[in-house]
């Protein structure tokens, strides 16, 4: 599974946890906390969009020096994930301020982030950006949040089972591990 596919539900779950008072049931969460640019109709009630702006690798990955019993090598790579959360509708200001307060202060929200392998790093200021819809304006706010994310991948590697060395001067043959019978 790609990093984007792993991060996408994780950042949404954090938003849902921040805004439980506004979207208490799973049905309300499904219709009220949505991904941006998904070609659906605009909800007629206040809602939040989640837009992953950037997934950027930080530094090099680190690989384990040993394989596990299945001959897999474990590789960990650090990423920074920048997400824009946008709040729309009559309660957009309240939702945005509630989110702003909870995203990096609430132990419950931070635990949800950790459960989804996200670490809160930083957030932007809350920005008001009213949107024109037909003939009227609706209230809207945006905030960018940057998370850390560690992706762990497994890769099967070939394993050397026996090494055979021959001393060209004496003709002696050595094996690692010792005691292997040569054909």
Q: What share of the chain is helix, strand, coil (3-state, %, to 5)?
A: 25, 40, 35
Kindly tell me if the per-residue pLDDT of 70 is higher than 90.
no
Q: Establish if 27 belongs to a structural domain.
A: yes
Q: If you count DSSP H runs as helices and E runs as strands, how many of each does the chain have, helices first?
A: 4, 11
Mean pLDDT of the chain: 90
Which residue(s) pair with 73 in the sheet? 155
Q: Establish if 182 belongs to a structural domain.
A: no
Q: Establish if 181 belongs to a structural domain.
A: no
Q: Convert 23-48 to b/e letters by CB count within 10 Å (16 or more is b).
A: beeeebbeebbbeeeeeeeeeeebbb
Q: Which of 25-34, 91-100, 174-183 bottoms out in mean pLDDT, i.e. has the lowest?
A: 174-183
- pLDDT (mean) for 58-62: 86
Kindly tell me if the per-residue pLDDT of 178 is higher than 80.
no
User: What's the pLDDT band for 2 if we cut at 50, 70, 90?
Assistant: confident
Q: Establish if 121 belongs to a structural domain.
A: yes
- pLDDT (mean) for 53-81: 83
Q: Establish if 183 belongs to a structural domain.
A: no
The whole domain housing 130 covers 3-176
- pLDDT (mean) for 128-150: 93
Query: What is the pLDDT, as a whole number, of residue 67?
Result: 60
Q: Establish if 102 belongs to a structural domain.
A: yes
- pLDDT (mean) for 151-168: 80
Q: Which of 16-20, 48-52, 103-107, 178-182 bottoms out in mean pLDDT, i.e. has the lowest?
A: 178-182
Total of domains in the chain:
1
């Amino acid at each position: 599974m790609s990093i984007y596919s792993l991060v996408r539900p994780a950042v949404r779950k954090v938003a849902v946890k921040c805004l439980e008072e506004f979207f208490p049931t799973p049905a309300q969460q499904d219709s009220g906390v949505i991904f941006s640019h998904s070609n659906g109709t605009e909800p007629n009630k206040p809602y939040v969009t989640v837009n992953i702006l950037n997934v950027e690798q930080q530094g090099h990955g680190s690989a384990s020096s040993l394989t596990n019993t299945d001959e897999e090598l474990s590789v960990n790579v650090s990423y920074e994930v920048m997400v824009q959360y946008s709040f729309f509708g009559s309660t957009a200001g309240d939702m945005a301020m509630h989110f702003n307060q909870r995203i990096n202060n609430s132990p419950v929200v931070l635990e949800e982030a950790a459960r989804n392998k996200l670490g809160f790093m930083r957030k932007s200021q809350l920005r008001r950006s009213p949107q024109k819809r037909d003939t009227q304006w609706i209230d809207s706010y945006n905030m960018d949040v940057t998370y850390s994310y560690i992706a762990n991948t497994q890769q099967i590697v070939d394993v050397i089972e026996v090494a055979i060395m021959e001393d060209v001067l004496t003709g002696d043959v050595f094996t690692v591990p010792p005691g292997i019978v040569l054909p």
